[in-house]
Structure formats: structure tokens, C-alpha cells
Amino acid sequence: MPTFTSYDGTLLNYRVLDGPGPDLVCLPGGPMQDSAYLGDLGGLAAHRRLILLDPRGTGASAVPADPATYRCDRQVADLEALRRHLALPRMDLLAHSAGANLAALYAARHPEHTGRLALITPSVAATGITITAEQRLAAARLRRDEPWFPAAFAALERITTGQAGSDDWTAVEPFFHGRWDDSAREFAADSARRKNQEAAAAFGADGAYDPEDLRAALRRSESPVLVLAGELDLQGPLPAMTEYAGLFTHAKLVVHPGAGHFPWRDDPAAFTATVAALPAK
């Protein structure tokens, strides 16, 4: 697998899925999960050449000498090192979930090198948007006809009221998927094994985000932005996704019906068509 050396000497790994279009650098969520769970993003490699980065300390990327470099804002330098390695004047970014925080920080710090942004069921942590417990519960209630709903919803209520038990986080996993079947169960178990828990704890540590400055920078951005939300995603309820898209000057919000937190798995054809249609800068 190809590698490059980042600003502090850490060797980082990425995968390449060759496609007919220009490079699209893909950032996983987690936070701090390797990129394997992204797969081929529902067949998106048929439209773009995908560069799938393993963040430092995940997958085949090296563990850094300084664990403080796991902090989200410090990983912006990893992306800039990758851009230079790939010799891209502008870098198109696709970011999933927590990876959207990193993509937004990169766009704010390096607007001259930022092309198009596809932010998939994005985390809003870096922007300071508040997602309320009731917004999450309202999204969860859309699944009330599912056979697993009563137990999962009870667990979610305990989580949102600060009374979660050790099993409740596993019990709510069905809410993240458009279909809770054997494939989704296998995907969830595999994803959990791929996460660097130490790095995840440091990702959003104190100092990682300055929401006011970031919002101002995003308002100045000229990059075309796709915010892709899942109708059923309680991680990114639609009120929060609407507010998030409104932070960008040139953003389009697309909501995929019946999709959860991983829309390329729930409806691959719709996902690839939406991302491939993102306009050029």
C-alpha cells in the first residue's frame, strides 16, 4: 500500500481505488477508525479515483511519537502533507461522520487548496451546533415498527438521560443502519475492532475546535459543498443537518430516504449518483 511521511515524521498509509475521475481523498470517521469500513463507498470508484486515508495510529498507518497529535486540529497538517505528496493543486475531500470535522478544519485553514467537499452524515462537533436529546429520540421514533425497536429505544432513552449501562451502547446499534440484518451486524462488529480508542479520546480534546472562528471561515469558503444526511440517522438529525449546511456559502443538503449513518451501504446507487453529481469548483 502507498505511504507518505507527514510533518512530524509519522508514516501514514492510504489505499487507492482507481476510477476514471479525478482524485477524491476520503476521510473515515469513528473518530479514529481506519478507512477499511468505507469499502468502495457503494461503487463510487466507478466515478472517481478514491484515495482512502488511514489516520495516524489506525490501520497500516504508524502510531505517532506524540499522542497529542491525534487531536483533530493537529491532523490538518497530515492532510496538507498528503495533498503535497499527491501533487494536487486543490484537493477534493469526502469525509464521513467525525471525519467531517477534520475536513472542515482543513477547508478553513487551506481554502486555496480545497476543492469540492462531500460531507457524509457529518459530525457537527467542530462547529458548536447542539444536537438535543429530543432530536435524536425523534429520529429514533421513525423506526418504531422495527422488531428490535422497544429494547433499542429504551437503551437510547437511558443514554440521553445519562443513565446508560454498559450494554446500552451496543443495544442502540440498529439505529445506525437502514437495515439491521446479518450484514449490518457483521459490519458493526468489524468497525468496532478497527477503532483506536486512545486516539478517539484525544481527537476532540480541549483546544481542538474554535467554533466561532470555524463558522466565520466556512462562510467565506467558495468551495461547493454536499451535505448528505440519512433520513433515519440519529447521529445527524435533520434539524442539525439543515443548520450545518447553512454554515457554508455554497452548500447543498441532500437527505437520503431510508438511510442511516452509512448511506453508501443502505442505498449504494443513490449515494454514488449524489456524490458523483457534486459540481466542480
Q: Which pLDDT does position 242 carry in this prediction?
A: 98
Across the chain, where does the E strand assignment appear?
3-5, 11-17, 23-27, 49-54, 91-96, 114-120, 225-230, 251-256
Best CA proximity match to 194, nearest among 72, 100, 57: 57
**pLDDT higher than threshold 70 for residue 153:** yes
- Stretch 121-134: mean pLDDT, rounded? 97
Q: Which pLDDT does position 166 carry in this prediction?
A: 85
**pLDDT higher than threshold 70 for residue 212:** yes
Mean pLDDT (the chain) is: 96
Residues 61-107 have pLDDT tens digits of 999 999 999 999 999 999 999 999 999 999 999 999 999 999 999 99
**pLDDT higher than threshold 70 for residue 280:** no
* Residue 193 binned pLDDT confidence (cut-offs 50, 70, 90): confident
* Residue 281 binned pLDDT confidence (cut-offs 50, 70, 90): low
Could you give the angle at which helices 99-109 and 76-86 cross, rounded to 10 degrees? 70
| CA-angle at 81, arms to 78 and 85, nearest 5° | 135
* Residue 9 binned pLDDT confidence (cut-offs 50, 70, 90): very high
**How many angstroms separate the CA atoms of 205 and 63, rounded?**
18
**pLDDT higher than threshold 90 for residue 20:** no
Cβ atoms of 26 and 35 closer than 8 Å: yes
Q: One-letter amino acid identity for 15?
A: R
